């Protein structure tokens, strides 16, 4: 399975890489710090299964990044990993094509559940954020 991480913080990507490698030993992991890098990777690797996408990217709002990424790779399953838990932002991500939204404040096992659910073709939202609003 091929996984891409799109986050402008190298330290966070390194931590995610360690987490992913502990969850999925056969994963081939690609890293991108910008949307341009992510789109280029998606074009070179059309079989990317999942993209972990941060919403706070330098110089570009993540929702716009999500739209651009989905345009370049419509079949990629986008899992937004964000510090935000704003209901409107979560709704906007889902409307833009995200298959999951996992707040960075959640324990690591939530990301594993998101992976399993998204790979099964279903949307995953942690129960803890479902109560945040209408």
Across 47-76, average pLDDT: 89
SS3 86: coil
CB environment 85-108: b (16+ within 10 A), e (fewer) = beeebbebbbebebbbbbbeebee
Residue 4 CA to chain centroid, in angstroms? 8
- What integer pLDDT is reported at residue 132 of this predicted model? 54
Given a cut of 90, is residue 109 above it in pLDDT? no
Q: Among the listed ranges 11-20, 30-39, 41-50, 110-119, which one has the minimum average pLDDT value? A: 110-119
- What integer pLDDT is reported at residue 43 of this predicted model? 94
- What's the predicted TM-score (pTM) here? 0.89
- What integer pLDDT is reported at residue 115 of this predicted model? 84
Q: What are the Cα distances from residue 3, in Å, to 50, 73, 117?
A: 5, 13, 15
Given a cut of 80, is residue 110 above it in pLDDT? yes
- What integer pLDDT is reported at residue 130 of this predicted model? 64
Given a cut of 90, is residue 88 above it in pLDDT? no
């Amino acid at each position: 399975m091929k996984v891409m991480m799109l986050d402008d913080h190298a330290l966070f990507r390194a931590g995610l890489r360690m987490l992913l490698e502990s969850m999925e030993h056969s994963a081939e992991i690609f890293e991108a710090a910008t949307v341009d890098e992510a789109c280029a990777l998606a074009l070179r690797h059309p079989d990317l299964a999942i993209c972990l996408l941060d919403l706070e990217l330098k110089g570009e709002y993540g929702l716009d990044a999500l739209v651009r990424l989905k345009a370049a790779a419509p079949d990629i399953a986008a899992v937004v990993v964000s510090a935000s838990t704003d209901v409107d932002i979560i709704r906007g991500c889902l409307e833009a094509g995200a298959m999951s939204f996992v707040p960075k404040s959640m324990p690591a096992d939530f990301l594993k559940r998101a992976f399993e659910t998204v790979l099964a073709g279903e949307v995953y939202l942690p129960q803890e954020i479902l109560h945040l609003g209408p």
